[in-house]
Amino acid sequence: SITLTSPRGTRLTFRDGIFIGNEFHASQAGQDGKITVFNPATGQELCKVTAGGKEDVDAAVEAAEEALKTSWGLKSTPAERGALLYKWADLIEQNASELAELEAMDNGKPRWMAKDFDIADSIACLRYYAGLADKVSGKTIEMKDGDNFAFTRVEPIGVTGAIIPWNYPIQMAAWKLGPALAAGNCLILKPAEQTPLSALKLAELAAEAGYPPGVLAVINGYGKDVGAAISEHPRIRKVAFTGSTVTGRKIMASSAHSNLKKVTLELGGKSPVLVFDDVDIEEAVPWVALAILFNMGQDCCAGSRLFVQRGIHDAFIAKLIEAFKAHKIGDPFDDTSSHGPQVSKEQYEKIMSYIEYGKKGGAKVAYGGGRAEAAAKGDLAGGYWVEPTIFTGCQKGMRIVDDEIFGPVLAVIPFDTEEEAIEMANDTEYGLAAGIFSTGASRCMRVLAALKAGTIWVNNYALLSNAVPFGGYKQSGMGRELGVDAIKEWTEVKSVHWNI
């Protein structure tokens, strides 16, 4: 096992290895691979963890198939599966403080946010699907002839995979594990290589909860090794992915070339936020700031394109700058921080290069525009600190307007009419989310119907509920997570015609 000491002095112990059959093993991939894990707040190495490969995915599939034959899938009852999810959620809750510290060290997000948002929501998500497990049923269908009747059974898919990103490590795991396990599937989880730690702890707690061996596998490793092995595997029947659109395409192509496994994709975004001139500026500004700054802008729903109606543009931006100034960047272990470092050196450099593109491309830096020097002091000097940044005077064709930056960088574009705002907002290949700020109910209804996005926030932003479906239009994804309907993405429907 590995023990880290957090900046609070807490000893955080977790097991390392390839988690298959409720035990942690050495990798069978023969590459002796290790992932070096960095603390984003300091840039220092935290530890090294085992990186797996194709042979480990093969072993996980074998273990999963065995579980489906003996104790899981159709050999388990929905109520049993619900009870296990409740038990696991309870154990996560009991370990929430340690998990939050681990997540803060691994990912860089403020500790309190990891605890109050990511982990609290993950526990709620597992409980939501625990409650749903025994409420999934097929239907009986009346046939006209009277000699036959038909019914449907809702069955688990079988062996499934999940490939998740680094921005919400525990939460992205929970969104997939909840419905997958409630429905009776076995799941092979590949965490992101930037944030491999919390999933190891979750695996340990799953074994403690009493899951039969083989139901859950956690295989850390790189996308090109473990991720590719999952998406290419001929006996994995579904893969759920959250991450970049580029990788989503690769996963879909692998599915097509291997066994046409079902694919659900939650991909990138360049979400528009539309602010009309009838708003109460004071009320709208905190939401608009949150839309881009939440999770350091590392959010697929980040409201990164801001369209402001010309009449209030300058007044709105002046207030928005005040809100950015009040946003406290600093140590993830200081509970007054609302903003930590970016997750990795690579992401830091990518965002900084976009800030340069913005400057060179003719946009005006209205706020920020560099390294967050105020945070980068003492032990944190080597951290990946980016200043929240507002660019005004932006237009289509600038890279900061067209590309997903995945950082705290906002591009502002003025507009005159509702039609113009809708057209510009929809002028993207993404379609994950959008925000509308207006006090006109009819306008809100018109605009929300016209926007091509899977989630629309009206006079708020970034609210999510386990009961509400989530997913993207266009190249932001396929399928939906969360809510009752997510179960459909993790089950097969069998139709039976019976001659009576």
Q: Which residues are catalytic?
A: 266
Residue 56 near ligand NAD by CB under 6 A: no
Task: Provide DSSP, 253-277.
Answer: HHHHHTT--EEEEE-----EEEE-T
Q: Which is nearer to ligand NAD, 22 or 245 (CB)?
A: 245
| Strand pairing category for 305-309 and 409-415 | parallel
| Number of helices and strands in the chain (H, E) | 16, 22
Choose the stretch contacting ligand NAD; rule: CB under 6 A; options: 75-83, 237-245, 303-311, 423-431: 237-245
The answer to whether the beta carbons of residues 100 and 122 sit under 8 Å apart is no
Residues 6+ positions from 244 with CB-CB distance below 8 Å: 165, 267, 268, 404
Among 60, 63, 99, 192, binds ligand NAD (CB under 6 A): 192
- Rounded Cα distance between 219 and 405, Å, is 28
User: Angle formed by the axes of helices 281-293 and 313-326, to 10°?
Assistant: 60
Among 193, 331, 387, 481, binds ligand NAD (CB under 6 A): 193
Give the angle subtended at the CA of 370 by the CAs of 368 and 373, to the nearest 5°: 95
Interface with ligand NAD in residues 393-432 (CB under 6 A): 404, 406
Query: How many residues belong to the site for ligand NAD (CB under 6 A)?
Result: 28
Q: Which is nearer to ligand NAD, 299 or 331 (CB)?
A: 299
Question: What is the nearest approach in angstroms of ligand NAD to the Cβ of residue 317?
Answer: 25
Q: Which is nearer to ligand NAD, 403 or 485 (CB)?
A: 403
The answer to whether the beta carbons of residues 263 and 87 sit under 8 Å apart is no
Among 251, 306, 394, 400, binds ligand NAD (CB under 6 A): 251
The alpha-helical segments, DSSP class H, found in 34-167 are 54-70, 78-94, 96-107, 111-113, 120-132
Helix (H) / strand (E) element for 380: namely none
Residue 261 near ligand NAD by CB under 6 A: no
Residue 244 near ligand NAD by CB under 6 A: yes
Residue 264 near ligand NAD by CB under 6 A: no
Question: What is the nearest approach in angstroms of ligand NAD to the Cβ of residue 295?
Answer: 10
Residue 190 near ligand NAD by CB under 6 A: yes
Sheet with strand 148-156: strands edge to edge: 140-141, 148-156, 491-499
Question: What is the nearest approach in angstroms of ligand NAD to the Cβ of residue 221?
Answer: 8
Rg of the Cα trace of the chain? 23
Helix (H) / strand (E) element for 333: namely none
Among 22, 160, 247, 466, binds ligand NAD (CB under 6 A): 247
- 3-state SS class at 162: strand
Choose the stretch contacting ligand NAD; rule: CB under 6 A; options: 25-33, 141-149, 241-249, 276-284: 241-249
Among 51, 182, 217, 300, binds ligand NAD (CB under 6 A): 300
Interface with ligand NAD in residues 329-388 (CB under 6 A): 347, 350
- 3-state SS class at 151: strand
Q: With CA atoms as reference, report the closest residue to 293 among 312, 333, 265, 321.
A: 321
Choose the stretch contacting ligand NAD; rule: CB under 6 A; options: 145-153, 162-170, 277-285, 287-295: 162-170
Question: What is the nearest approach in angstroms of ligand NAD to the Cβ of residue 241?
Answer: 7
List contacts with ligand NAD (CB under 6 A). 163-167, 190, 192-193, 222-224, 227-228, 231, 242-244, 247, 250-251, 266-268, 300, 347, 350, 404, 406
